[in-house]
Amino acid sequence: MVNYDAIERQQEEIGEKIKAYSSKYSESLRHRLDYITEYKKTFDKVFEGFIENDLPKDQHYRELKA
C-alpha cells in the first residue's frame, strides 16, 4: 500500500501544479480580455454612430451632384 499512497500523493501534487500553472495563464487571459473590453468601450464611445451620421458637407455634395 505504500506505493499506492505515494502514487496518490504524486497525482495530487501534479494536479496542484497543473491548477497553479493554468491559473496563471487564465489570469493573464482575463487581464487581456479586460483590456480589450475597455478599449472597445472607449472606441465605441468615440466613434458611436460615425458611419451612420451624415456630415453637413455630404448634403451639399449630393445637391451639387444632382
User: Any idea what the Cα angle at residue 28 is, between residues 24 and 29, rounded to 5°?
Assistant: 115
Residue 42 confidence (pLDDT): 92
Confidence of residue 1 (pLDDT cuts 50, 70, 90): low
Residue 2 confidence (pLDDT): 67
Q: What is the pLDDT of residues 2-60, one digit of tens each?
A: 688 888 999 999 999 988 888 878 888 888 999 999 999 998 888 876 766 666 677 77
Residue 53 confidence (pLDDT): 64
Count CA within 13 A, CB hemisphere, residue 42. Answer: 6
How far apart (Å, rounded) are the C-alpha atoms in residues 53 and 16? 55
How far apart (Å, rounded) are the C-alpha atoms in residues 16 and 57? 64
DSSP calls for 10-40: HHHHHHHHHHHHHHHHHHHHHHHHHHHHHHH
